[in-house]
Chain A
């Protein structure tokens, strides 16, 4: 039996209160027989969004990669941080030695993902630090951090816990909505959202990265529970792994197309008052790192990453470490003659990097996509049985198979014609076309009123735009500028 209910988020883990759902966009479900001791799994349905169906999706196989020759930290790719270096070239470092700190808060340190010596420090335009490369020793040294057992954790003061995570270099794993900056340690968040999987097709799936590590994950959940009163753990329905193994922990299942399980989308659907806007989130895989830091007393560098895209020969998961060189992952697995674009961090949100770059602190996905800089003869008039499109304007609407897609924009810049496709896919009900126009007209207040800050930067509005307007870039940059002005 389906009930339209609205959930009270206050004291969620202990007490439930239901009201009739007034928000049109989602329907909540709860089990038929609900006992007082049962944890509630709430199903959230997002109608908007879009699942891209293109070739090159990774399989669930996992291969462990050997140790790379070097690893790197990319301060440029960590949002809002102003790095102050604590090392020089040729300095010896251990795994977990501080490499740089944030000028805004010197407690926020970023640790070395490898043991060896600093091989080079690369600067970009305006002296921005692009890469800090660490050449790895055969036997890496490890900095030691306090071991904390579950019993110790129970009675731990919040302040002390925060300090342990900060000195352990893992505080940046937490991000604060809506600007996705690293949160201030003094603030108690209204809630922390853990997103287990991503509907983005090129991100690691929990079946792989949580395999054999469920206990570790549960320990990580305990740590998070010490940090906040309200912990939301969301997962996508459709696979049995998470419901079976983590049934007692998952609070929300997010049904719907990409980006239904983005923490920002979840928050948009469950928040009831403005205080909740500043919730934090952390990736499912990163919870494991937290737990490992406490359990092993070492700075954890394990990462499960995904290699995908139509130009990758082997499309699957890899067990490797933080900051590995991109060509360490793609060696012998690229099918591109050097023409592929290397996209780090996902097809919608990632950035492109040269082949000799490294994986970032947050990124767990690497894609090899054809550049697609070829002209296409009479492209607009072709039937398009193999042209992927959300619209029904090509014959591909009758083609259910995964289709190839390259980095071509498939059209020139045009003025917005108000077709409204962007508003049809926006998962948080912004009206990107109107918001974009108010930004262009410098009406920032109006844009904020439209819900600009709810934007989860999923990139779908730009993806679908037939006029090829860079909507999400404009929204994102405006958000960022607004945040920097507030600081």
Chain B
């Protein structure tokens, strides 16, 4: 620890003003403060401050992301080996998963951090910890077959146009990770949707590939014109409700398991880092929007839009709804700040997710579009919530 301190002290001069790497000071600062909380003391009252800082705040989100991350690694390897006809032992699957997922995460962090450092260096401020979350959220929403150059492109777009051109962390109105994903989704739909992208097929035994169907539950349920009841369609494809809940099926890297998201959500809610209002609002929104169709489907039988009659709980566990509601919708910067508007915001994210899935089968990625759409509305929701609240005040001018 002492030698580490000495290391930073001895290299500080190169990164401070006039040094060789003066421009890289934000990077030096970010690395140093990762190891040491600086000894800055208060100058004005209040003389004491809470122990919580933004680093702790954001690292708790990272901790909450560990369950979906680890499960995502396992699941990616599992699906890959299953499809390729390779052994599915724990070790083999985990290693395979790591081999697929780790490069994506490393590229996401490296490229994003480069942009962050560039902007921080020009603006002469320090690198915000918010990026640690963005850089991990983004790869978890991608299909495992994504080419690495697209990962780099996506995170670049997310960081620059989702955040930095508006002034950096705290001033962005869109979720940067989802902005990057939306960019990839619309620019390279062949690599981001369909049923071929969700499993990495590799290895020796190529015969197994023929029997493998890579469709995700969203693709299965978006099939139009089927007279079958949607649930039997899903079950026939192997997607039972428990399976979707546990998450061992092909899909985006981190978004398949609702159970893991639930664990993360519990941690975020308990620590107060994420607003429980947004999460519960989102769940309510999904159930509320999906329920009428389900009832109608039960009474009158199948519908021309199969998704319409789907059991509301399916909506919660498939297509990354759980992941989106837990980790994306609760981003405090792009979400609203008033409690009442947090409920509304969460509710509409849930409801719009279902609406998009039902009425726009071309873009079944409801949750991503719903969150980005509601991001746009959160300042407006806040505005009305504040106006409403100020009416109750006795004026003091």
Contacts and interface: CB of A to CB of B under 8 A. Distances in A.
Interface residues of A, number: 81
B46 A348 contact: yes
Q: How large is the interface on B (under 10, 10 to 19, 20 to 34, 35 or more residues)?
A: 35 or more
A443 interface: no
B394 interface: yes
Interface in A95-149: none
Given A347-B47, A417-B169, A411 B394 contact: no
Contacts of A378: 35-36
B46 A410 contact: no
A312 interface: no
A417 B170 contact: yes
Contacts of B40: 373, 408-409, 412
Contact of A377 (B35, B41, B128): B35
A341 B47 contact: yes
Contact of A466 (B45, B47, B53, B275): B53
Interface in B46-77: 46-57, 59-60
A347 B45 CA distance: 8
Interface stretch (B206-214, B348-356, B385-393): B385-393
B52 A410 contact: yes
Contacts of B170: 414-418, 467
- The binding surface of chain A is classed by DSSP as loop
A393 B46 contact: no
B49 A347 contact: no
Given A375-B5, A376-B36, A391-B272, A414 B390 contact: no
Interface in B166-196: 168-171
A406 interface: yes
A380 B168 contact: no
Interface string A452-479: 0110000110111111101011000000
B195 to A, nearest CB: 38
A420 B48 contact: no
B42 A417 contact: no
Interface string A252-292: 00000000000000000001111011000000000000000
Contacts of A369: 47-48
Contact of B48 (A272, A405, A465): A405
Nearest to B36: A375
Contacts of A54: 48
B306 interface: no
A371 B37 CA distance: 15
B202 interface: no
Contacts of B57: 393, 417, 419, 466
Contacts of B48: 52, 54, 347, 369, 405-407, 463
Contacts of A389: 50-52
A472 B46 contact: yes
B7 to A, nearest CB: 13
B396 A470 contact: no
B395 A391 contact: no
B271 interface: yes
Given A350-B47, A412-B40, A419-B332, A449 B392 contact: no
Nearest to A386: B51
Given A274-B394, A392-B272, A418-B337, A412 B47 contact: no
A416 B170 CA distance: 6
A347 B337 contact: no
A415 B168 contact: yes
B50 A429 contact: no
13 contacts: A54-B48, A375-B5, A389-B50, A390-B52, A408-B37, A408-B42, A417-B130, A420-B337, A433-B337, A434-B386, A448-B396, A464-B52, A473-B44
Interface of B: 1, 4-5, 33-42, 44-57, 59-60, 126, 128-130, 168-171, 270-273, 275, 332-333, 335, 337-339, 382, 386, 389-390, 392-397
